[in-house]
Amino acid sequence: MKTMTCKQLGGACNKTFSADTFDEIVTMSKSHGMEMFEKNDKSHLDAMEEISVLMQDQSKMQEWFNQKKEEFNAL
């Protein structure tokens, strides 16, 4: 079981997620992100905007994703 924070996963707070696989932890952070989005949490909205800019460039997004995955695997 590995633990990463919302912030480490491109979010904005220190909430932690624990999972065995990177895909699982991404799913957890995404649903937390959606929750914060619904609550109109400013810092999460800003963080999401940054990610959505990244998403417009597939190779940059892939690079970001791989980087986070490496971080997870290195834990």
Choices 11-19, 20-28, 53-61, 66-74; region in contact with Zn ion by CB under 5 A: 11-19
Could you tell me if 46 and 37 are in contact, meaning their C-beta atoms sit under 8 angstroms apart? no
Using Cβ positions, the residue closest to Zn ion within the complex turns out to be 6
* DSSP-assigned letter for residue 39: T
Shortest distance (Å) from residue 68 CB to Zn ion: 15
Query: Does position 6 bind Zn ion by CB under 5 A?
Result: yes
* Residue 18: half-sphere exposure toward Cβ, Cα within 13 Å: 2
Query: Does position 10 bind Zn ion by CB under 5 A?
Result: no
Choices 13-21, 52-60, 67-75; region in contact with Zn ion by CB under 5 A: 13-21
Could you tell me if 20 and 70 are in contact, meaning their C-beta atoms sit under 8 angstroms apart? no
Could you tell me if 9 and 24 are in contact, meaning their C-beta atoms sit under 8 angstroms apart? no
Task: Note the residues at the interface with Zn ion (CB under 5 A).
Answer: 6, 11, 13, 15
